[in-house]
Structures are given as structure tokens and as C-alpha cells.
Amino acid sequence: MRRPGKISSEKGAALVETVVITPLLLFLILLTAEVTNAYVEHNMITKAARTAARHVAGNSLLGTTGIVVLTPDLLSETRNLAVFGNAAGTGSSILPGFSTSNVQVTELANDWVQVSVTYPYTGLLGGTLPTFGYGSSKNLNVSLRATVTMRAL
């Protein structure tokens, strides 16, 4: 048999446990969402760099001479392909704040071409994470980078 006094002494314990654990659970959920978002956006710029590198590698050789020539039109098409998903540069960019100035196309030695993409990632919470008086605010802005090197075909 239970003693009646024991039940009344445990009232409110579940509420205290909930108040203690809820901020931790919310932080973990937010952290998971932030890491997932950064992973997805990095995956998008990696795919964009790969597609752009494939385009420039397939179109940069000058006939059958084996000489790599990066013409202004080819560079423009390559940058547009990385940013907009098409060579014409129409539509909106694949990511907010992503522009053709974030794409660098270079010719390397021995018929290799390289496409480097840099994207200024801003977290879901914005540019800074407030610490509510417990130290200085944390900067959430990072640069996501993807570089792909291919041999010109």
C-alpha cells in the first residue's frame, strides 16, 4: 500500500524536469537544422562547381590543337551555369546572395581547368548568435568553398 504523503511530495517534479531540459532540446534541434542547412547549401555549390567545370572542360580546347583557350564568352557561360543553372544566365540564382563574382575559372598546367566557387553562408538565425549577456555574440557567417579540377577534353 502507498502512503498518501508520498504522492503529494512529488508534485511538480515533472514540471521542474521539463523546464530544465527544454532549452537543451531546443538548442539541439536548432543546431541540427543549422548543420543540415549548411550541408545542403554546400552540396548545392559543389554540384554547381562540378557542372561548371564539366562545361568549361568540354568547351575550352581550341579544335584539335590541344591548347586550352578560355574565351570571355566561355567564362561568362561557365559562371552563369554555376550561379543560375543555365549558360544564358536567366532566372534567379540557385542560392540567395550567390553571384557570378563568387565563381573563379582558371587554366592550370597540362590542359587542366579549375572552377572554384565561394558562397557567403549566413545561418538560419542570421549573421550573429546572441549570447544574452554571457560573453560576446558569435558570428555565424562562414564561407563555403568548392573547387573542382578537370582535364580539358
pLDDT tens for each residue of 46-62 = 999 999 999 999 998 87
pLDDT at residue number 1: 56
* Separation between Cα atoms, residue 45 and residue 79, nearest integer Å: 12
- What number of CA atoms fall less than 13 Å from residue 16's CA on the CB side? 4
pLDDT at residue number 67: 84
pLDDT at residue number 7: 57
Return the C-alpha cell found at 102. 563568387
Residue-wise pLDDT tens digits, 98-114: 999 999 999 998 889 99
**Residue-averaged pLDDT of the chain:** 89
Instruction: Please write down the long-range contacts of 30-37, taking CB distance under 8 Å and 24 or more positions apart.
Output: 30/124, 30/125, 33/124, 34/123, 34/124, 34/125, 34/140, 37/123, 37/124
Q: What is the dihedral of CA 30, 31, 32, 34, to 10 degrees?
A: 90
The better pLDDT of the pair 97, 1 is held by: 97
pLDDT at residue number 37: 93
Phi and psi based region of residue 143 (left: phi greater than 0; alpha: psi -120 to 50; beta: remaining) = beta
The better pLDDT of the pair 17, 46 is held by: 46
Whether the full predicted model's pTM is greater than 0.85, yes or no, is: no
